[in-house]
Chains A and B, each alone.
Chain A
Amino acid sequence: MVSHYDLSRTFEIKGRDFSKAGYVSINIKEILRELGIDPVIVRRVAIASYEAEMNVVMYASKGEMALKLNPKVIQITLEDEGPGIENIDMAMQEGYTTATDEIREMGFGAGMGLPNIKKNADVFELKSTVGKGTSYNIVIYLNSKGNV
């Protein structure tokens, strides 16, 4: 794992605030675009960070997302304060969701978030303590095409 990052940014996410939902991942996407990162990678990061962000909005009370990157790797971490996840294996399954009807009426909660993060990340680690919170570690490598 690379320990030295050239750029680092943190973003606050408020739980239950659907009006602002998605802004953090858009911000991250804009930064990567400005850096000239390969659009394919930008999209993978956009998807993974959006799903992570939405899970805080939907399930937790608040969270902090961090973007760290150097010319080789992009890392997104997320720490939230919330109910935590009881059974991570189950949560990772496609279609598994505990979203309320109300959330599903808004078009969220298809149970595809975590599987999508996994699909788009090179490394995805999920840790959780029930009653305290959840932490995500998402890593995406920039190959030689990282800078176009």
Chain B
Amino acid sequence: MEKCDGRMKCLRVCPTQAIRIRNGKAVILEEKCIDCGECITTCPNEAIVALTDPLGERSRFKYTVAIPSPALYAQFGRSILPDKILAGLKKIGFDDAYDLAITCGDTSLAIEHFLDEYNGPKPLISNCCPSVVSLIQVRYPQLVDHIIPIKLPKRLAAREIKERKAKELGLKPDEIGTFYITPCPVKMIAIKQPSSEKECYIDGAISIADIYDPLLSALESEDEGNYRKSLESVCILGIGWAVAGGMHRTQKLKNVLDVSGITEIIKTFDDIERGKLQNIDLVVAYTCPQGCVGGSLTMENRYISYNKIIRLLETLEEENIEACRDKREIRERYRQKYFHRQQKYEPRPIRALDEDLGKAIEKQRKKDEIYDSLPKIDCGICGAPTCMTFAKDVVKGDSQLSDCIFNIPNRLRELTSELSNLLDTFGSIGESEGQKSSKEK
């Protein structure tokens, strides 16, 4: 935050009004933040940085495994295929690299099975973007039951890797470090505080942006190899996870709605909350436009990397390459509840104006009064994104009315009258010393 010069760009882009400018610097209100990364993308000074672990973290472990989000593959597309990228990751210091697309593919199949037998409230909403899950918990608490209760691929993968490698190498599971290569800060936060599952098997996250340069140089020295063979190792179902609409397309799911970008998601969730879209089975939502390829910690332009994934999918489709795990095996695992989340998603509703409804109503009225007295131009100088949020901050006691510059005339008037009172008092000093000392007490 040192680099923040209070330009307030982030203030306006935050979809949950979680940013305030205090003493000339941006602060994030944790309870409202859904980790969507919009502020990171917009900040001209790169002052808001994601808390991803630096590469150095790896030295804590005896054996390290990189687990890249399929969004990493999207940076390179058809020109450098996943198996080469995994080899590159090993060159830059990981002992192993795991193709997460395979587990994403498994999970796609599990989702299909789940949809087949589901008969609860519709539509279901995907949980692949943790920021979407937070948005629901914070803004649509009534929709938590719509979130699909299927585990996330990166968790499943990390757990499997730890168990398998521990056995193979004769190490303890916690001597094996699993590192997720992430397109966004969200996944990092979800790793650090797994809101859901008791244990987390991912030890750290490294952003795609941080790893990009070293990886690229490692890839330059990589020999060409057999392109066809590389292509034949790509799991088409998992590759689709990097882009909005990808899962839908590769798995030919019927009745799925793909939504990306926070504004569009909010519109869609408003509709679901009103009981619409019940004819849809699943809404797959990504807060980043175009999906994870649009993540704030990626390198390539999101439209270009989106295209790169689509081209790759087209090639795989033309060549009839699937390279995913055996469907029967997945069905068996699904039956054994391998993919099911045990814990429910809990709502995380924002703090009410007051715990007592009567008092909250009173504050709501007070807020209206304050709002009416404001200029309603959302200038942001008070540090709040809109005059309305400012009024709310004032009734909650988080801000003072005098923080609004349009209240300065009033404040001046108050000060002037105080001053003239003071002068009156002093004016009478000469007349009676006794009076003054009594006033001083």
Q: Which residues of A contact B (CB under 8 A)?
A: 6-7, 9, 22, 25-26, 29, 31, 33-37, 39-40, 42-43, 46-47, 50-51, 69-71, 116, 142, 146-148
CB of A71 within 8 A of CB of B270, answer no
Within 8 Å CB of A34, what residues of B?
Answer: 350, 352-353, 360, 364, 392
CB of A36 within 8 A of CB of B354, answer yes
The answer, yes or no, to whether B341 is at the interface (CB within 8 Å) is no
Known: A6-B358, A43-B273. 12 other contacts (CB 8 A): A6-B361, A7-B364, A29-B273, A31-B364, A33-B350, A35-B364, A37-B357, A42-B142, A43-B142, A47-B273, A146-B357, A147-B356
CB of A39 within 8 A of CB of B360, answer no
Within 8 Å CB of B356, what residues of A?
Answer: 147
Residue of A with least CB distance to B139: A33
The answer, yes or no, to whether B365 is at the interface (CB within 8 Å) is yes
Cα distance, A59 to B142, chains bound together (Å): 30
CB of A35 within 8 A of CB of B365, answer no
Residue of A with least CB distance to B271: A22
The answer, yes or no, to whether B275 is at the interface (CB within 8 Å) is yes
CB of A116 within 8 A of CB of B275, answer yes
Residue of A with least CB distance to B396: A34
CB of B141 within 8 A of CB of A35, answer no
Question: A-facing mask of B362-378, CB < 8 A → 1, else 0?
Answer: 10110010000000000
Residue of B with least CB distance to A43: B142
> Can you report 21 A-B residue pairs in the complex whose CB atoms are below 8 A from each other?
A6-B361, A7-B364, A25-B274, A29-B273, A34-B350, A34-B352, A35-B352, A35-B364, A36-B349, A36-B353, A36-B354, A36-B357, A36-B360, A39-B141, A42-B142, A43-B273, A46-B274, A51-B274, A71-B357, A116-B275, A147-B360
Within 8 Å CB of B349, what residues of A?
Answer: 33, 36, 39, 148
The answer, yes or no, to whether B326 is at the interface (CB within 8 Å) is no
Q: How many residues of B contact A (CB 8 A)?
A: 23
Given A7-B365, A33-B350, A39-B349, residue A147 in contact with residue B141 (CB < 8 A): no
CB of A35 within 8 A of CB of B353, answer yes
Cα distance, A50 to B276, chains bound together (Å): 11
CB of B364 within 8 A of CB of A26, answer no
The answer, yes or no, to whether B173 is at the interface (CB within 8 Å) is no
Residue of A with least CB distance to B354: A36
State the Cβ distance, A97 to closest chain B Cβ, in Å. Answer: 15
Residue of B with least CB distance to A112: B275
Cα distance, A31 to B274, chains bound together (Å): 16
Within 8 Å CB of A71, what residues of B?
Answer: 357-358, 361
Cα distance, A51 to B347, chains bound together (Å): 26
Cα distance, A116 to B276, chains bound together (Å): 11
The answer, yes or no, to whether B355 is at the interface (CB within 8 Å) is yes
Within 8 Å CB of B274, what residues of A?
Answer: 22, 25, 46-47, 50-51
Cα distance, A126 to B347, chains bound together (Å): 35
Residue of A with least CB distance to B357: A147
Residue of A with least CB distance to B275: A47
Cα distance, A46 to B272, chains bound together (Å): 11
| Cβ contact of A70, chosen from B142, B361, B392, cutoff 8 A | B361
Cα distance, A36 to B357, chains bound together (Å): 7
Residue of B with least CB distance to A108: B276
Within 8 Å CB of B358, what residues of A?
Answer: 6, 71
Within 8 Å CB of B347, what residues of A?
Answer: 39
Cα distance, A72 to B234, chains bound together (Å): 60
Within 8 Å CB of A35, what residues of B?
Answer: 352-353, 357, 360-361, 364
Residue of B with least CB distance to A6: B361
- The residue in A33, A69, A142 that gathers the most chain B C-beta atoms within 10 A of its C-beta is A33
Cα distance, A39 to B273, chains bound together (Å): 11
Cα distance, A65 to B424, chains bound together (Å): 53
Within 8 Å CB of A42, what residues of B?
Answer: 142
